[in-house]
Amino acid sequence: MANPRIISIANQKGGVGKTTTAINLSTALAAVGEKVLLIDLDPQGNASTGLGISAAERGVTTYDVLSGEYRMEAAVTETDIPGLVLAPAGVDLAGAEIELIDADRRHFRLKDALEDYTSSEKGADITYVLVDCPPSLSLLTINALASSDAVIIPLQCEFFALEGLSQILRTIDTVRARINPMIELQGVVLTMHDRRNNLTNQVEDDVRGHLGDKVYRTVIPRNVRISEAPSHGKPALLYDLKCPGSQAYIQLASEVIQRERSRAKAA
């Protein structure tokens, strides 16, 4: 069995669509037959809630795994979506930062746990791991980047978006130089996009001018159906498959798969 592709969904800014992208991209990949593990690495646990796993239903969490108390296998939970399993987060994850400060292999806690899982019988069929990162460039995000083959950056087209973008790009470069030579930027996805807004269009032009085809052709439109879905504990793709937001995430998944294929061919 080939190794799964591990992709972090990262941006140090909150509210840019990381969790929404993680949930809906995972769902779209599972829908085309991939076996997906979504790792919730945000203490807020929005990816877990958004997939219908309430705080009360979470047993072993990613905190327990990073702290070394449990194996990843114990955290992995079924979801309502065939082909998609979840490692949920709990609020205690907020403390991991400080608790791990002197710990052994503190940057590689997630990587080690994932390797253990995907080389075990239970995790052997996983083809994609997506990591929903917290809104910071903290030890948690570093753990995600240290484990990842690729990064997808969701970006909201607003003032200062480019400054934020260069910060995360620098972090990826540092991680590549120091702890994970494999990591590459798969792409930047423009989220909550509003064609009628001049600033949106201006920022989009700037970002495409800087990063060229690293920016996905697909943009995710601002769509109220997307923001309603989490309160029903469902991905937008299940809540309203036909809405423009869901359709955009399906298109994004196909671009992600295409990029994976051309990368695999080039390798």
- List residues binding ligand ADP (CB under 6 A): 14-20, 46, 135, 191-192, 220, 222-223, 226-227, 230, 245
Tell me how many residues contact Mg ion (CB under 5 A). Answer: 4
C-alpha to C-alpha distances, 127 to 3, 11, 35, 45, 71, nearest whole angstrom: 7, 23, 5, 23, 19
Taking CB under 5 A as the criterion, the residue among 8, 11, 12, 19 binding Mg ion is 19
Rounded CA gap, 130 and 38, in Å? 5
**Beta strand residue intervals within the chain, DSSP E:** 5-9, 36-40, 77-78, 84-87, 128-132, 150-156, 184-191
Stretch that binds Mg ion, among 36-44, 104-112, 212-220, 224-232 (CB under 5 A): 36-44
| Contact (CB, 8 A) for 72 and 123 | yes
Matching residue, tokens 């671009």: 255
Q: For residues 218 and 223, which CB has a smaller minimum distance to ligand ADP in the complex? A: 223
Q: How far is the CB of 42 from Mg ion (least distance, A)?
A: 5
Q: For residues 12 and 79, which CB has a smaller minimum distance to ligand ADP in the complex? A: 12
Q: How far is the CB of 221 from Mg ion (least distance, A)?
A: 19
Q: How far is the CB of 231 from Mg ion (least distance, A)?
A: 15
Q: For residues 123 and 154, which CB has a smaller minimum distance to ligand ADP in the complex? A: 154
Q: For residues 129 and 192, which CB has a smaller minimum distance to ligand ADP in the complex? A: 192
The DSSP element (H or E) to which 199 belongs, if any, is helix 198-211
Q: How far is the CB of 18 from ligand ADP (least distance, A)?
A: 3
Rounded CA gap, 21 and 10, in Å? 10
- Judged by beta carbon distances under 5 to 8 A according to partner kind, the member of ligand ADP, Mg ion, none in contact with residue 192 is ligand ADP
Q: For residues 119 and 227, which CB has a smaller minimum distance to ligand ADP in the complex? A: 227
Q: How far is the CB of 125 from Mg ion (least distance, A)?
A: 27
Strands of the sheet containing 84-87, edge to edge, are 77-78, 84-87, 36-40, 128-132, 5-9, 150-156, 184-191
Q: How far is the CB of 18 from Mg ion (least distance, A)?
A: 5
Q: For residues 17 and 123, which CB has a smaller minimum distance to Mg ion in the complex? A: 17
Alpha-carbon torsion (244, 148, 131, 190), positive or negative: negative
C-alpha to C-alpha distances, 263 to 5, 30, 259, nearest whole angstrom: 11, 20, 6
Give the footprint of Mg ion on this chain (CB under 5 A): 18-19, 42, 46
